[in-house]
């Protein structure tokens, strides 16, 4: 399990080091990277950063492909990731496309 229930409320396992409490505002983060350890570390950092700061942190980390789902089920992603994602029901989803994280080309290939 990656969460626990306490007093009827669900808490996940990712702790925000600034507060000592579970990070809030994010449901899921997917990062594509050629190094699995870096992808995992980046996904955790971006989960804590949340929907307002993920883009800045991803740029600082040199991450190229990010998809974040916030606590309101809004999907945030950069253009390079958007070219790789096929949503099952795109009309039922709210999608926020960020500016590019790095110099992106339309023929950009996966790592």
Whether 107 shows a pLDDT value over 70: the answer reads: no
3-state secondary structure of 57: helix
For the chain, how are helix, strand and coil distributed in percent, rounded to 5? 30, 30, 40
Q: What is the pLDDT of residue 93?
A: 87
Lowest mean pLDDT among 1-10, 72-81, 91-100: 1-10
pLDDT in tens, 58-75: 999 999 999 999 999 999
Q: What is the pLDDT of residue 19?
A: 92
3-state secondary structure of 9: strand
Tokens representing 78 are 């950069």
> Tokens 């993920």 appear where?
54
Confidence of residue 92 (pLDDT cuts 50, 70, 90): confident
For all residues of the chain together, what is the average pLDDT? 90
Q: What is the pLDDT of residue 13?
A: 86
Tokens representing 47 are 């989960």
pLDDT in tens, 18-45: 999 889 999 999 999 999 999 999 999 9
> Residue 85: beta bridge partners?
none
């Amino acid at each position: 399990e990656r969460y626990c229930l306490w007093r009827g409320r669900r808490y996940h396992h990712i702790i925000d080091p600034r507060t000592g409490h579970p990070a809030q505002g994010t449901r899921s983060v997917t990062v594509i990277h050629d190094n699995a350890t870096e992808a995992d570390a980046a996904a955790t950092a971006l989960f804590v950063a949340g929907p307002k700061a993920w883009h800045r942190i991803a740029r600082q980390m040199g991450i190229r492909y990010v998809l974040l789902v916030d606590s309101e089920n809004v999907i945030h992603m950069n253009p390079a990731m958007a070219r790789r994602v096929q949503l099952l029901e795109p009309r039922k989803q709210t999608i926020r496309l960020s500016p590019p994280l790095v110099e992106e080309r339309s023929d950009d290939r996966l790592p």
